[in-house]
Structure 1
């Protein structure tokens, strides 16, 4: 039986682990948060006491942590995967980090006998839990071919976007600049409708059947008009971090990102005002300014 590991069992990593288990892979997992670790065990995973134990037992390991520094520590730190995985093993870097950080990790793995697939993901919490993530994978054809069964267990769309570490992260940064901009435009449109007195259901019906409708827009509007601003699996910290990466890449390459920059500020305001909220909570900041809220059945004047 192929053994697979997952380091980082939050909203995304727990979904990856769930689908690996469901597809018959012996799955080892590790998370520093006890509740996440316990939930992983309850779903049938092998609970590792350390990253090193994951590395010793797994042929493939997904790294789904929040920051580049965390990914570096998991992979190249003391007792990390580079030290404990058997030669020939493959690390799937599914975290979203800076391209330069992925390149540094790739450089650090040279001579280790391990393979690295730089493959950030898209699809959010529903995609992770449902096994329908989009993977932006960068590695050689041979490495991707060997890992295909493992990747197909968690993904419905695998794109070969490059061969070098960092290539996947570059594509993800471009994608997030677009997604963040769509989100922020949706938040503004929702606040505009609220101030004008239009019911949320009307806005959702029109937007979702127009050329502007999309999974991103429709889902955000659903959350806004039902006032679901926390616990939906899309914490605002993640998009804020991702937009920071997009903006940094634009700065590095000299590319003006006017719309993404505006989105970055909207998410920054949302995270500052409502730090425990999910992406859609940024709408509340705009609503607080204009004195109106968008609800499913009606717009509500708050002052």
Structure 2
């Protein structure tokens, strides 16, 4: 197996950043996406374009699936032109979407029937960090599989956390993280909207927050964009809407009910219903700032 060939299916904001990062580190990267423009942009960087997942090179060290949800993952893996048509025993599939742990477990079991290894590998940090390799990668897979692909994982992320050997635990960790991200973002948007209502300078207020106890990375990142009126989507409102919904569902399954998660999740739903689904999730500021 040529350890310098890798396949990335789904090259949107995160997958595209990962592919560009690997190309810059000398990997031979195959890319596939329903958006031809995204594939063409990476082809300009020397990636090899694929029309369908089933066209992936059998020599690939890993097949990285970086789509949005479980339905798209199902299509990529087991659809009519999915990876399953060419996967062989010993191959490895990295599942990077934020999906329910039960879905990860189901995909891993079906792949295992074919002798294919699963790396449950959700990520966090945004497109810029995917591009420069500084994103976080939450990994659940067998130790031997982890060691076999350690070089690829190091090139993908300077922050690889090997959570456990059980597929599904990566997804669980990501949901916990993203629930807190959602809560923090709703809180930051609410606080800055209040600052505006109190007549405070928003930039100076955020300067204070960033050096004080109210600071959060996602709050600073998104609210700086909101202050600038920049709602071009890096992470659509619908992504944390999905992720917080999945996290609340996982909490219910575990018999846990917290005071903030479900309410924060509802704010993303409300922003979606207000027509902000296609905007960056910094638009929560615009949504909450319009409330009386």
Q: TM-score range by the shorter chain?
A: over 0.9
Q: Is the 8 A contact 1:55 1:81 kept in 2?
A: no
2:55 is matched with 53
1:241 is matched with 242
Is 1:154 equivalent to 2:138 in the alignment? no
SS in 1 for 2:184: helix
Alignment of 1:270-281 (within 5 A): 270-273=271-274, 274-281=276-283
For the residues of structure 2 that align with 1:226 and 1:4, how far apart are their CA atoms?
Answer: 38
Shift of 1:36: 1.0
Q: Is the 8 A contact 1:82 1:114 kept in 2?
A: no
1:255 is matched with 256
Mean Cα deviation higher: 259-268 or 80-89: 80-89
Choose which of 131, 139, 156 in structure 1 pairs with 2:133: 131
Alignment of 1:111-122 (within 5 A): 111-122=113-124
TM-score normalised by structure 1 residue count:
0.92
2:40 is matched with 38
CA deviation profile, 1:45-73 (whole Å, cap 9, x unmatched): 00012101125352211100001111122
SS in 1 for 2:90: coil
Q: Is the 8 A contact 1:65 1:71 kept in 2?
A: yes
2:220 is matched with 218
CA deviation profile, 1:226-273 (whole Å, cap 9, x unmatched): 111123x11111111111110110111111132111111111111221
For the residues of structure 1 that align with 2:166 and 2:75, how far apart are their CA atoms?
Answer: 20
Aligned residues: CA RMSD: 1.3
Q: Is the 8 A contact 1:76 1:108 kept in 2?
A: no
Choose which of 133, 140, 143 in structure 1 pairs with 2:142: 140
Q: Is the 8 A contact 1:123 1:134 kept in 2?
A: yes
SS in 1 for 2:231: coil
1:287 is matched with 289
Q: Point out 4+ residue stretches in structure 1 off by more than 6 angstroms.
A: none
Q: Which runs of 5+ in 2 are unaligned?
A: none
For the residues of structure 2 that align with 1:30 and 1:276, how far apart are their CA atoms?
Answer: 23
SS in 1 for 2:196: helix
Shift of 1:126: 1.9
TM-score normalised by structure 2 residue count:
0.95
SS in 1 for 2:58: helix
SS in 2 for 1:251: helix
Shift of 1:25: 0.9
For the residues of structure 2 that align with 1:89 and 1:182, how far apart are their CA atoms?
Answer: 38
